[in-house]
Amino acid sequence: MATATQMASKKKIFITGANGLLGQKLVSQLVEKGDFQVVASGKGDCRLPGGGFEYASLDITNETEVESTLTSIKPDIIIHGAAMTNVDQCELNQEACYDSNVNATAYLIKAAEVIKAHFIFVSTDFIFSGEEGPLDENAIPAPVNYYGETKLIGEEMVMKSKTKWTIARTVLVFGIAHDMSRTNIVLWVKSSLEAGKEIQVVDDQFRTPTLAEDLAAGCILIAEKEAEGVFNISGSDFLTPYEMANTTAEFFGLNKGLIKRADSSTFTQPAKRPLKTGFIITKAQEQLGFEPKTFRTAIGILAKQIILART
């Protein structure tokens, strides 16, 4: 058990969106490492398992709440992972999306400036047009949907802020929440094929899918090394969803014949998706020592988590 003196000497790290997938992984990795005082925050009650952290209920779209919470906690580092990320919902509910992704980020930046906290902002490949990829940190943004627009505005505010800042851009984050509340491409393919369902999967979109644990590890490396600027934190395998589905089927020994190729025009969705993104992660590898799992290894990690969740 850490003494009060040891706790006081540790830097304090504040996580937004702690009840979400990334937030869960961040809190569990930070608690396990034991190098920081961890304050998890989310809207409403704490839904995180285990202990070793404090929890602050916070509505980040409420400026007064953000200001009072952060000035009383005074974290050294803020990892802002909370966002409205359902791309179609963002397109259909633009006011709510703007409030969650732009206004909330502005309130958090303002508070970070007052307490001089290192502000780490989690961003997305959806700030890009999808005309080419994989992309490095110097690629020029040109979002094709409203979600991407709001995240780009967030990035621009972070870059202009008067506090130490870092942007961690990521791609197609997948993983398993502790309560199995989230689905992802691996779980969807596995359950569909096990049920004998034929599935249509696009083969004209390209991504570098990112295991949630790897994104959390990348954000923690940024905090530990006090790295500043923009970093691409994603998986290293450049794949289409069709290739991801086939790799998943192979891993679990399922019928790949049920996987049918489709192109993006087959699906009608409210928000346009960029066709080709994916990231070059050389900068994060060289400057942070970031090494993500391969997509196949990540499936193996998920397979073990599925078994543990059911026991």
Q: What is the pLDDT at residue 6?
A: 58
Instruction: Please report whether residue 308 resides in a domain.
Output: no
Q: Residue 154's pLDDT is what?
A: 98
pLDDT value at residue 284: 98
CATH code, domain with 147: 3.40.50.720
Question: Does residue 305 lie within any of the structural domains?
Answer: no
pLDDT at 125: 98
Query: Assign residue 231 a region: left if phi > 0, alpha if psi is -120 to 50, beta otherwise?
Result: beta
Residues 174 and 185: beta-carbon distance below 8 Å: yes
**How many Cβ atoms are within 10 Å of 278's Cβ, its own excluded?**
26
Tell me if 244 is assigned to some domain. Answer: no
Q: What is the pTM of this model?
A: 0.96
For residue 198, is it within any domain? no
Q: What is the pLDDT of residue 2?
A: 54
79: phi > 0 → left, psi -120 to 50 → alpha, else beta; which? beta
pLDDT of the chain, 311 residues: tens digit per residue = 555 555 668 999 999 999 999 999 999 999 999 999 999 999 999 999 999 999 999 999 999 999 999 999 999 999 999 999 999 999 999 999 999 999 999 999 999 999 999 999 999 999 999 999 999 999 999 999 999 999 999 999 999 999 999 999 999 999 999 887 778 999 999 999 999 999 999 999 999 999 999 999 999 999 999 999 999 999 999 999 999 999 999 999 999 999 999 999 988 999 999 999 999 999 999 999 999 999 999 999 999 999 988 87
Would 245 be classed as within a structural domain? no
In a domain, 196, yes or no: no
120 belongs to a structural domain: yes
Q: Quote the number of domains for the chain.
A: 1
Name the residue range of residue 221's domain: 4-176+210-236+277-294
Specify if 45 maps to a domain.
yes
Taking each helix axis as running N to C, give the angle between helix 104-115 and helix 63-73, from 0 to 180 degrees, rounded to the nearest 10. Answer: 30
Pairing of strands 173-174, 199-202: unpaired
